[in-house]
A and B are shown apart, each in its own frame.
Chain A
Amino acid sequence: MSTTTAQAAVAPVAPATGRVRAYFAPVNRSAGTPTIFDPAQLGSFDLDTPPSPWADLGWISKFVRKCGTKVDPLRAGAPAITVAQVRAEVEAAISFEFESWGKLQATLASGSQQTNLLTTASSATANGSGGVAAAPISLVTGSGPPSTASSLNVGATAALGFSIGSLVAVDIDYTGQLGYVGTGVSTAYVQSASAVGGDVNYIRRVTLNAGVVVGIDSGVLTLASPLQAGTPTEGMKVSRLVGFCDREGASFFQEWSALFAIEGAQGDRILYHYPRLQTMQGSAEAVGALAAPLESIRLAAAFRALPVKDANDGETVVCFRSYLPAALRNV
């Protein structure tokens, strides 16, 4: 029989931390199903390598949770006295600032769909979110290595049109699809083909499946990081882009599953999981002070939490807060 020496547990102290890390996962908008994070199974993950399908949004600052839940008293008698309480309204919102300004962060903070500024066709008519795009490049199959989430085989000839640092969007052609579009993440809602002008590049215009080229070899473009939607599927094409654009007044509501992790200095961890978040403001920035006249500009975001049902008891909730104590802490 093996024995272990008993050790004294340490008193639990308030977590101390200076930073909050944010993670993104898609909501299947067509099915209305969010990505659920299970803290019992995955809560201790390495913050630098979140479990699939969670994507790292980097550090955030000024993370504020606002509880709008109203608890009303139920009174009886004369004089009236509170005999019970009832939750009259459940509401939760969060706000924060992104410390990095990437495609995913800008999209979430934009408040609506974000468009990729696709490289335009020659003589394209000027348009606020980018003119008619140049013809896309097909991915090569059957010759050379197959494309993967982080390498795109466009063929030697087409590769001449790219250079190190080129930004690319990878997605299928628009062929009249209605409803939510965007591979991997629903990034826009198409009400009618005529609304998007039948633009064959429309899905690549709104997709989150984008990356930056860091290597070109024998017709294969190597990307800095894997595409959001993973290995390209048949029919996906590549469009070059120069940047991103969002529009105040656009109608689409982004919805995403969110996870926020706070690592305590004692090895403990707080996790906030919002399975469904939708923006509650338009695109905004927060200005950070540097030596005048310089300012740093951060993406400011605010979201309202939408409900899900907890499979354990059927309760309708909007947020899960989990706490993982450090080793050998009294509870």
Chain B
Amino acid sequence: MQNAKDTFYTMLQGRLAMLNPSRTIVVRGVARPGTLVEENELPTASVPVDTFRLQWTKLQVNSVSPLPQVAMECSIQYATDGTSGQGSMDRGRLLAAMDAELASALAAEPRSEQKMNYSGASVGVAPAAMGTNVFWSDPVFGAAAVLDERLERTATVQVYSHQEAGEL
């Protein structure tokens, strides 16, 4: 299941970065594309804005298939305060831009990605390609939440994969 999570995250991060290369975030002193998985980062109470934050929530396994089919819910949260130069009056536009980027990245073809095993990957060592693909549903966008000058939204996506022989 971890391979499917890593594969989906890497796919989404790459597609979002291609759509908007200027959406970046500095994490532990390193600038990188503005997409992260919260469980892979240091716990913090602060909410990074103008960034897509992935959380893995629900999990369901169907064992009837020759390869158990795994359905995981990915909750994608994002928020914006607008820009200070605009007095935050552009926060609606910035949230709409993030809506569009996320929708476009998830709707782009192909709607599947070859599952990769990143456990042995490091600098100069590529992840290992696996035998099945990860695929996903259309996102369901929740209502925008208003927290003072902040606008925040959560979208959920069902991510499907098959557990391959020997895969944990």
Contact = CB atoms under 8 A, between A and B. Distances in A.
A13 interface: yes
B112 A13 contact: no
B112 A265 contact: yes
A16 interface: yes
B69 A267 contact: no
A194 B133 CA distance: 61
Contact of B131 (A18, A265, A328): A328
B66 A265 contact: no
B8 interface: no
B66 A266 contact: no
Contacts of A12: 66
Interface string B41-67: 000000000000000000000000111
Contacts of A18: 111, 137-138
A258 B105 CA distance: 31
A250 interface: no
B164 A265 contact: no
Interface in B92-112: 111-112
Nearest to B113: A265
B160 A11 contact: no
A59 to B, nearest CB: 12
A13 B66 contact: yes
A14 B69 CA distance: 10
B43 to A, nearest CB: 34
Contacts of B65: 13-14
A193 interface: no
A18 B158 CA distance: 13
Contacts of A16: 135, 160
Interface in B56-95: 65-67, 69
A10 B133 contact: no
Interface in A1-26: 8, 10-14, 16, 18
Interface in B21-51: none
A18 B131 CA distance: 21
A216 B111 CA distance: 38
B167 to A, nearest CB: 11
A287 B48 CA distance: 43
Interface string A315-330: 0000000000010100
B132 interface: yes
Contacts of A11: 66-67, 165
B5 interface: no
B132 A10 contact: yes
Contacts of B162: 13, 266
Contacts of B131: 8, 10, 328
Interface in A291-330: 326, 328
Q: Which of A8, A10, A267 has the largest number of chain B CB atoms within 10 A? A: A10
Nearest to B69: A13
Which 9 residue pairs of A and B lie closest in terms of their CB atoms, listed nearest first? A265-B135, A11-B66, A10-B131, A265-B112, A266-B133, A11-B67, A13-B65, A13-B67, A265-B133
12 contacts: A10-B67, A11-B67, A13-B67, A16-B135, A18-B111, A18-B137, A18-B138, A265-B111, A266-B133, A267-B112, A267-B133, A328-B131
Given A8-B165, A13-B67, A18-B137, 4 more contacts: A11-B165, A13-B65, A13-B66, A326-B133
Interface of B: 65-67, 69, 111-112, 131-133, 135, 137-138, 160, 162, 164-165
